[in-house]
A and B are shown apart, each in its own frame.
Chain A
Amino acid sequence: MARIELKDVRKVYGGNIEAIKGVSLDIEDGEMIVLVGPSGCGKSTLLRMVAGLEGISSGEVTIADKRVNELEPAERDIAMVFQNYALYPHMTVRQNLAYGLKNRNTPKDEIDRRITEAARALEIEPFLERKPRQLSGGQRQRVAMGRAIVRKPAAFLFDEPLSNLDAKLRVQMRVEIRRLQRSLATTSIYVTHDQMEAMTLADRLVVLNAGRIEQVGTPIELYEKPETTFVATFIGSPSMNLMKLGNGAGWKMSPEARLPNNAATIGIRPEDIVIVNGNAPGPVRAEVQVAAVELVGAESYVHALTADESPVVFRVPGRSGIRIGETMALTADAARFHLFDAAGKRV
């Protein structure tokens, strides 16, 4: 149980390459923070800096109000779950769980008690005497979680822990991680590039881009009020349609859609676009030709091109009967517009 604070944390490689360009973040006790961003945005580096696996070039990291910059990973009272699980292959599951406790000279009966407890919570009791190679991916993932839990650390750090699992198992484990984290109320930092995972797990989401924080907020805040065009396109799938104002871009604005003067880009979520019949008026309108239809089950994503070949994606329910090559008119409610200025900031 602990707060984690990052104060203007920077990481510089080789004297001039700045991987983390000044990140400040307060993580509340018991909170689940998800760091999300495209590959190379520095999210893993940031996590590893908190863990103590990477040095901190400047700035300060505190865990439970204690500066940890100079501490060894073992002294920071954290536990980490790795992408490849990093289970010790020559030890049984029980030995894997006990290893961290043994190194801290925990009494034997205490170790046994904690292992039994964790094994029950994660339903890995039947595998305790097995070696990791005899387990499936999902079971290994549970053991990796168990190894973090038995330590009862101040914080859990997750480094893309689900990316090696198949889609179905990933969803299942995601729910389980959330449930466990809630019940243990342990402060957690979770790194992922999967925005679905990020949205469903996070108390607060941190979107990173090129070593900087783009926006911090609850998942729904980020979805409904993205501060930048980067966040707007990164959060949500399929991603938000962005169109430049002024040059037409195939979208025609009606005069009554009074937009702020400094608005340079309009963003419209795929679910906010509707098909209109004939000449029905709307604040915005585009004639498009359908390029592809993706039926994903309950709904379909329609990919279309406007007159000037800029792409548009929108959602329609189930089997829409829309055919490739078809032309149609689209509109959207002005209240659902996301407006950004020329620098990509929200207006």
Chain B
Amino acid sequence: MQSVVFPNKILPYFLVAPQIVLTVIFFFWPASQALYQSAMREDPFGLQSNFVGLANFRLILSDENYLHALQVTIVFSVATALLSMGLALLLATAADLVVRGKGFYRTMMIIPYAVAPAVAGMLWLFMFNPAMGTLAYLLRRNGIAWDPLLNGDQAMVLVVVAAAWKQISYNFLFFVAGLQAIPKSLLEAAAIDGARGSRRFWTIVFPLLAPTTFFLLVVNTVYAFFDTFGIIHSVTGGGPAKATETLVYKVYNDGFVNLNLGSSAAQSVVLMVIVIALTAFQFRFVERRVHYG
């Protein structure tokens, strides 16, 4: 690493100050509040709180509902990440083949990203609402007993599709850029070497996209964990019977609906640990298999 020496001693601190202020206010402060809260228990009337050590953690980790939410989160995240990345990759490779109207096609693909999560959720809710959804009607007419309000698996499918749909644009953009970054001569060499179609894709294109795929894997996991609250809230509200209640949704439910602040804080601390561990794991083990340029 090259060390840069600024002639002015104070200027460098000024330059990094905005970033540090933001991180402190929006991460360290709430995180430390959560840590503090997670060790407290409040009385039913919210008048005082007592220090209870790790009791909150013991409680949630032995709570069946909590473990169920963990399971739901894993299913939801894996499904969402795979679905959105898979579809985005498919569309991006298709975009590479488009000759006319490339710009239009790409712009259309990016629009869903501009839709707010709650609105995206509402769109899918309206389309698949068993009472008034057009697509729900079509499904039922074709003999599928479609009722996400009662059937937990169908509710899960609905939130996964809605969450994945919203993320496709983002993934699409990165995959298109990733595909463009692959030197044309490599594809030509592969063509001369007799690799065509899907074989060329899996042996040359996909491995060379690995840095992009890896980056998106991290981003999508974090997205599915944290940023899908709006979609779940508007589509299923965590139901039916907590079938779509993810960890984040449970933090909200326990903390802000049921006002069990201690448990909610403990849950968010666990969530923080999970995400840090997950990201560290991905960087430690997945990145090793990634080839950068």
Contacts from A to B (Cβ < 8 Å): 51-53, 72-74, 78-80, 82-84, 86-90, 99-100, 103-104, 131, 147, 151
Contact = CB atoms under 8 A, between A and B. Distances in A.
A52 B189 CA distance: 11
A53 B195 contact: no
A80 B190 CA distance: 10
A72 B188 CA distance: 11
A232 B190 CA distance: 39
Contact of B199 (A51, A72, A78, A103): A103
Contact of B191 (A73, A87, A151): A73
A90 B193 contact: no
Interface in B192-225: 192-196, 199, 203-204, 207-208, 210
A13 B189 CA distance: 23
B293 interface: yes
A53 B194 contact: no
Contact of B204 (A78, A88, A151): A88
Contact of B185 (A72, A73, A79, A84): A84
Contacts of B193: 74, 99-100, 103, 147, 151
Given A88-B204, A89-B291, A74 B196 contact: yes
A86 B195 contact: no
B186 interface: yes
A151 B189 CA distance: 13
A86 B188 contact: yes
Interface residues of B, number: 20
B183 interface: yes
A90 B192 contact: no
Given A86-B188, A90-B208, 4 more contacts: A78-B192, A88-B204, A103-B199, A104-B194
A51 B195 contact: no
A87 B189 CA distance: 8
Given A72-B196, A73-B191, A86 B186 contact: yes
Interface in B168-194: 183, 185-186, 188-194
B192 A89 contact: no
Contacts of A131: 291
Contacts of B199: 103
A82 to B, nearest CB: 5
A91 to B, nearest CB: 8
22 contacts: A53-B191, A53-B192, A72-B196, A73-B188, A73-B191, A74-B192, A80-B188, A80-B192, A82-B185, A84-B183, A88-B186, A89-B291, A90-B207, A90-B210, A90-B291, A100-B192, A103-B194, A103-B195, A103-B199, A131-B291, A147-B189, A151-B193
Nearest to B182: A89
B187 to A, nearest CB: 9
Contacts of B185: 82-84, 86
A53 B196 contact: no
Contacts of A79: 192
Contacts of A72: 191, 196
Interface string B262-276: 000000000000000
A161 B193 CA distance: 18
Nearest to B188: A53
Given A53-B188, A73-B188, A103-B199, A86 B194 contact: no
A82 B188 CA distance: 9
A86 to B, nearest CB: 4
Residue with the highest number of chain B CB atoms closer than 10 Å, among A78, A86, A104, A151: A86
A53 to B, nearest CB: 5
B200 to A, nearest CB: 9
A53 B188 CA distance: 7
Residue with the highest number of chain A CB atoms closer than 10 Å, among B193, B207, B208: B193
Nearest to B290: A90
A78 B204 CA distance: 20
Contacts of A84: 183, 185
B207 A51 contact: no
Given A82-B185, A82-B189, A84-B183, A99 B208 contact: no
